[in-house]
Amino acid sequence: MSGDEGSRTLVVVRHAKAEADGPTDAERRLAESGHVAAAAVGTWLAEQGIVPDHALVSGAVRTLQTWDDIADAAGWDLEPEVEETLYAAGPESALDLVRAVPADVRTLVVVGHNPTMGTLAQLLDDGEGDVEAGNRLALGYPTSATTVLSYDGDWDELADASASVVAFFVGA
C-alpha cells in the first residue's frame, strides 16, 4: 500500500498512571492501576480494529511500559521506535516527529506525555469527526487518554485541524 491515497490512522496516547516518585522523572514506573489502564487501552484499540505498522514512544520508563501493556493486550507484535526527544517535546516538535514517519506507514501510534499529547490531539482535530469523542477530548487528557484520528494525506503534510477524531477512550 506504499504511496497510495487513502486514509491514515493516528493514535495519540498519554502514558498510563505512573508512580509519584522514581530515581528521576524519566525513570518513574507505572503504578499498578496504570498497568491495568494501559491493558484496557490495548483491548479497546484491538476492538476498534487498530493494528499499527509503526509506533513512536518516548524513552521514559512509564511510556515504554504503557506501550508494552497496550501492545500485549492488543496482540500486537511491533517494536516501537523509541524517540528520546518525545519526552520533552512540545506539540509542534511532536508533530514534526509524526511528519517524519515513513510515507508507507498507514497506522501510527504515538505514546508520550501531557500536556503535549492532549494538545497535539486537539490541534489536529478538524471538528468534523465524531462529535461526542471530540467533546470528550476537549474536556481534558487524563493518564491513558487515547485519541484515534483519521487523516487523508501524507504524513509530511499533517497540519493543525487536518484530521478527524474517530474515537476517544480513557483506560480505567
Q: Is residue 32 within 8 Å of residue 151, measured between CB atoms?
A: no
My answer on whether omega of the bond before 115 falls inside 30° of 0, hence cis, is yes
Tens digit of each residue's pLDDT (9 = 90 or more) over 69-83 = 999 999 999 999 999
Map out the domains of the chain as residue ranges: 7-104+116-170
Tens digit of each residue's pLDDT (9 = 90 or more) over 113-167 = 999 999 999 999 999 999 999 999 999 999 999 999 999 999 999 999 999 999 9
Rounded to whole angstroms, the Cα distance separating 94 from 89 reads: 6
CB contact set of 58 (below 8 Å; sequence gap of 6+): 15, 64, 82, 83, 84, 86, 87, 111, 112, 113
User: How long a stretch of residues is the chain?
Assistant: 172
* Model pTM score: 0.95
Assigned superfamily of 7-104+116-170:
Phosphoglycerate mutase-like (3.40.50.1240)
SS3 125: strand
